[in-house]
Amino acid sequence: MTQTAGKTALVTGASRGIGAAIARRLAADGVLVAVHFGRRKADAEETVASIERSGGQAFAIRADFAADGALDTLFSELEAGLAGRPLNILVNNAAVYADPDDRAATQADSYVAGISEVTPEEFDRIFTVNVRAAFFVTQRSLPLLADGGRVINISSAVTRIAWPLLPYAMSKGALEIMAPRLANELGHRGITVNTIAPGITDDTETNSWLHHVPGAAEGVAAMTALRRLGRPSDIADVVALLASDEARWVTGQLVDASGGMALAPTPPGA
State phi, psi for 261 to the nearest 5 degrees. -75, 130
97 is catalytic: no
* CA–CA gap between residue 161 and residue 96 (Å, rounded): 19
Cα separation, 255 vs 95, whole angstroms: 18
At 89, is the secondary structure helix, strand, or coil?
A: strand
Note whether 50 and 24 are within 8 A (CB): yes
- Closest listed residue to residue 151, CA positions, set 90, 212, 205, 237: 90
Strand partners, 91: 11, 152
Q: Exposure of 165 by Cβ count < 10 A (0-12 exposed, 13-18 middle, 19+ buried)?
A: buried
117: number of Cβ within 10 Å: 10
Question: Which listed residue (144, 168, 195, 201) is catalytic?
Answer: 168
Strand partners for 62: 37
Active site residues: 168
